[in-house]
Amino acid sequence: MNKRDKTHQSSRLLLGGGCFWCLEAVFQQVEGVIKVTSGYSGGTSENPTYQQICTGTTGHAEVVEIIYDSKALNLTTLLSIFFTIHDPTTLNRQGNDLGTQYRSVIFYQDDSELTVINEFIEKHQLTLNQKIVTQVSIAEQFYPAEIDHHNYYRLNSSQPYCQLVVKPKLDKYVQWKENKVE
């Protein structure tokens, strides 16, 4: 374990904003993020599979679990990135991905996170013409996705979906990072 590992303070955030491959690819690039895992949360069945999630009947959303160093990265910055790379004003949809499994959702851990999230959304709403429909819910059980969904963009970046859907979100993150828009 290096010196940095001894001094970081891990925090956890669950975000859903369309296909988890997109969110995973972006948040893996963020300095201060320790680990990103694609998975499912917010539904009724235990240990759901990708095939079950795709039916839209389990109530789960495709999410990423982000473990980050809260001494190096704050929740507001993560939310700023999240709201930059996805559309928080479309209900149960991101681009061509349609269904409740693709809903915009933030799962919070405690009341202090809820306060930060609500203040961020209220402030961000002032910059938009459409209403933010991002669901804000207490964190529920997180189920990691099947292994073939992990590091999907890194392993499949030349595939058409990755080039047409994931890469533009990475490009939005790069632009955000260059401009530091918060």
The single residue of 19, 22, 54, 162 carrying the catalytic annotation is 19
Token reading at 4: 């940095």
d(Cα 63, Cα 82) in Å, to the nearest integer? 12
In terms of C-beta distances under 8 Å and separation of at least 24 residues, what long-range contacts does 9-12 make, across chains too? 9/69, 9/70, 9/71, 10/34, 10/67, 10/68, 10/69, 10/70, 11/67, 11/68, 11/69, 11/70, 11/75, 11/109, 12/65, 12/66, 12/67, 12/68, 12/109, 12/139
Q: Look at residue 7 in the predicted model and tell me its pLDDT.
A: 72
Per-residue pLDDT of the chain (182 residues; tens, 9 = 90+): 444 456 778 999 999 999 999 999 999 999 999 999 999 999 999 999 999 999 999 999 999 999 999 999 999 999 999 999 999 999 999 988 899 999 999 999 999 999 999 999 999 999 999 999 999 999 999 999 999 999 999 999 999 999 999 999 999 999 999 997 44
**Domains located in the chain, CATH noted:** 3-177 (3.30.1060.10)
What is the C-alpha separation between 63 and 138, in angstroms, rounded?
14
Please indicate whether residue 162 is annotated as part of the active site.
no
pLDDT recorded at residue 182: 46
Burial class (CB in 10 A: 0-12, 13-18, 19+), 180: exposed
Q: Is this structure's pTM higher than 0.85?
A: yes
* CA dihedral (136, 138, 140, 145) positive or negative: positive
Q: Is 90 helix (H, G, I), strand (E, B) or coil?
A: coil
